[in-house]
Structure 1
């Protein structure tokens, strides 16, 4: 069979499987909310267990951190219970395997994840998750189903989505609007995986029940206690992550598309950096130590995402994923090791100027050097040349949050790290680098060329910006000229009023597709309903 035929067959299986397995956009099997017959382990006669006595699965299922023969399967229940996973390489679950997974306990907010290994490279794996009550083993939850396509096997086209910025600026889940409907738009592209570029939550952004729009109509949010105030405690942060799973579109998407996740600032607090103390001008916080807040946020983020924990460095977020000879993805962490936000004009790469930090910088260089894939995608949670001022009320004016400092000259401050990476790539003739990012709440496509740059020791490359997924729309920002950015597309007009609501449909994501035959990468930018706004074919360097 042709690769196209196999791909179409896999897509048809995925659609049919999830349609049969779900009710609406949720992920519970039909009838799970009704009393059902559950047979005890000792094969005693079946007994009726009321729904309220059985574990529930409020957040659906999610997969992520996939490799050619393994993936993390994630879910959450509502009480102490054991995660049970059944999986197969066919939608009928013929010859399926079953695994008794980890316990979901209060210590993980009843989340659980299983590192499912021994899978078939290049094939679609179908899985279903249930939970068994620890106090009453005969009480079993309903079943939630999902699927994922593993990399490897016969070379085929690869498609992935990217975006970020979710539930920001008070724009939460509005069911009358369609909820996080951008997730359904992305799902229709049937990506192999999704890069969530950060700001998965807005821990510093409480959500009110109603927001009055400029035309006098009301935006109605689903609200929860955790979203009524800024997050400070571990339970506050957990509640922020749990909130997003109230959206049926996200649950449906997560059951079908693996997540590769990084963090940015709003997982903790706007524009935070290690060692920061929240100033007195910010009145909303009782806990003012950012290291304490970040520790709570990191733990909640690990609990609520399909992370594969590094056994040597359990707090490590940066990592790499291989999709065979066509693609490798390098996920960066631009929060954990950065120096404090400043004027960003240091003349040497000292402790205040670092962004990635020496260990991560060295890891990235060596990982790029070892890569034999055609394409190397660097997932950065912040854009390279878009200027992002730190406007928090407790910081000095002229302080910058991202790589760029707005000076348009030779590299200074954090720009020194980018210059070092770009120079290394050129020195070692590492080919076909593409950057994807979010953070600024609008979409953009930028081509970098040394002919237009103040720093010229690099190979040309592309950077694409997605987002927001469901948040206020901002921009466009000033663009620093140090690395010669040629901005090909911007999704919002100059002079636009800031913090535009999702009702204006200015929510954005990117889709990248690599053709297995020609090895061309086609990148397109889309609005909330999937409309194609910009598209470019990037041909690989021989």
Structure 2
């Protein structure tokens, strides 16, 4: 696994890495400290799993008997707490296959990351944690299949953009009913904005501590705690492993590499980014390879599901070039949305792939979207349109290396959309070389509507085959012959209990790039 250019603050990674290394104990009888007596349930933030491999996964929890304690520490004492964990082959925990003790450390907000290996591929496991006399809910997860197995099929869901204050996470309740093999989260797990009467659509009251932009580590920790109290989010985390990437709002809106649009100095912004990345690590089931090094965090990585699919998880924020000041800069071939090291890692991996489906799991829209409905052109420089040279290099790699069945999975825009990827977006008759599936938000922007004022702009691009402005998620099933995507929508989310329906369904046939609408 390769990183991009590091930006400094080297001491923090050594410190955090050493904490993680001593945080996992192999035996139940070697606790790191005496177990406390809790006055309330310490597992109020739930349990989760992620990063599935053929022989294991990451298990996560975070102790927080008072999740909304304003210091962001969840009501925990300033000392290490032993947390026992166990994994079973059955939901009743009659056949335990792994167990151990991890240290929940105050330096990491009493979060626990257990990296498990040595398990069987392509099967379900159940897990739970114990701290003191308190036992967590049981979670279920699933290992990936063997890396070169002939896999008959798999299912997965796409989610992004979950502004807790804009409504309920009802979409996750319906996603859980689908029982996906894995959930891909495409960015904006939290939002950094102040929460107040102007944007709080849930029927709850919050303290003034939430009415502030997140900048410090304690503020980011509190924001994750708030979002993770949602029962539907906890339920889907406890049902399936997640593979997560972040976009901008885990740090700050529209940041580009080391640059903030709000004009703090680079040094000030990197301090904020370091706090944001640490809070992300503390609250997401990712591996120790993603332990932050100050303001740097390795987030691009690759997952294999047999011979069926290879998923390249990208980071389009941390290494991107500064936003262009003009059209000449936008077209500059030296600019990148991925950074040189990540581009090389991606293209090298694609060139070696023998998977039937080659997937990019990433944040912002890759297809060209001309936003001028007249004779001129206008592009969003926050998306891949701001970095067309990177897109050209990717498409060249697709064609030069003969990459089979490229599909891009995207979030960010709070809209469902689907597009054919063209060799020349300015020529509708040019070759279709791949497909992009764009998932709407779980809750961001409130209830939404079937259409809105942006629909003519998007649908004015002939390669765009779908546009919908409701909330929801994308349900996918994949076989060696086809990928089927159902765009699931909810009529409202500003009150709980909404039903779900399929707004549109598409099939992509293996060996035949392009979207075929089936309903």
Match of 1:91 in 2: 91
Structure 1 segments, 4+ long, off by >6 Å, are 285-288, 455-458
Match of 1:291 in 2: 270
Q: Does 1:404 align with 2:385?
A: yes
Match of 1:268 in 2: 251
1:386 CA displacement = 5.8
**d(CA) in 1 for partners of 2:405, 2:252:** 34
RMSD across aligned positions (CA) = 3.1
- Going from structure 1 to structure 2, the CA distance change for 1:287 and 1:376 (only over 3 Å counts) comes to closer
1:290 CA displacement = 2.2
Q: In 2, are the aligned partners of 1:422 and 1:459 still within 8 Å (CA)?
A: no
Matches within 5 A, 1:6-25: none
Matches within 5 A, 1:98-497: 98-131=98-131, 139-152=132-145, 155-167=151-163, 170-172=165-167, 179-203=168-192, 205-208=193-196, 219-221=202-204, 223=206, 226-277=209-260, 279=262, 289-310=268-289, 315-342=297-324, 343=326, 345-346=328-329, 347-350=331-334, 353-385=335-367, 400-405=381-386, 414-450=387-423, 453=426, 460-472=433-445, 473=448, 476=454, 478-479=457-458, 486-492=463-469
> Based on CA coordinates, which of the two structures has the bigger radius of gyration?
1
1:401 CA displacement = 1.3
- Going from structure 1 to structure 2, the CA distance change for 1:210 and 1:335 (only over 3 Å counts) comes to closer
1:209 CA displacement = 5.2
**d(CA) in 2 for partners of 1:388, 1:307:** 36
- Going from structure 1 to structure 2, the CA distance change for 1:243 and 1:345 (only over 3 Å counts) comes to farther
Q: In 1, are the aligned partners of 2:121 and 2:143 still within 8 Å (CA)?
A: yes
Paired residue secondary structure (1:71): strand
**d(CA) in 2 for partners of 1:55, 1:219:** 24
Match of 2:5 in 1: none
1:143 CA displacement = 2.8
- Going from structure 1 to structure 2, the CA distance change for 1:541 and 1:336 (only over 3 Å counts) comes to same
Q: In 1, are the aligned partners of 2:459 and 2:467 still within 8 Å (CA)?
A: no
**d(CA) in 2 for partners of 1:85, 1:312:** 21
TM-score for both structures, normalised by structure 1: 0.74
**d(CA) in 1 for partners of 2:216, 2:308:** 43
Q: Deviations over 1:31-66 (max 9, x none)?
A: xxxxxxxxx989xxxxxx9751x7611111000011
Q: In 1, are the aligned partners of 2:309 and 2:355 still within 8 Å (CA)?
A: yes
Q: Deviations over 1:196-221 (max 9, x none)?
A: 10011111x22225759xxxxx7524
1:117 CA displacement = 0.9
**d(CA) in 1 for partners of 2:210, 2:225:** 10
1:340 CA displacement = 1.1
Match of 2:60 in 1: 74
1:270 CA displacement = 0.9
Paired residue secondary structure (1:301): helix
- Going from structure 1 to structure 2, the CA distance change for 1:144 and 1:226 (only over 3 Å counts) comes to farther
**d(CA) in 2 for partners of 1:533, 1:156:** 27
1:376 CA displacement = 1.3
Matches within 5 A, 1:522-541: 522-528=484-490, 529-541=499-511
1:486 CA displacement = 1.0
**d(CA) in 1 for partners of 2:400, 2:231:** 48
**d(CA) in 2 for partners of 1:476, 1:161:** 25
Q: Which runs of 5+ in 2 are unaligned?
A: 1-27, 31-35, 65-75, 372-377, 491-498, 513-519
Q: In 2, are the aligned partners of 1:130 and 1:143 still within 8 Å (CA)?
A: yes
Paired residue secondary structure (2:354): coil
- Going from structure 1 to structure 2, the CA distance change for 1:431 and 1:58 (only over 3 Å counts) comes to same
Which structure's relative contact order is higher, taking Cα pairs within 8 Å and 6+ residues apart? Answer: 2
Residues paired across the two proteins, number: 438
**d(CA) in 2 for partners of 1:287, 1:209:** 32
- Going from structure 1 to structure 2, the CA distance change for 1:416 and 1:286 (only over 3 Å counts) comes to closer
1:508 CA displacement = 2.2
Q: In 2, are the aligned partners of 1:388 and 1:401 still within 8 Å (CA)?
A: no
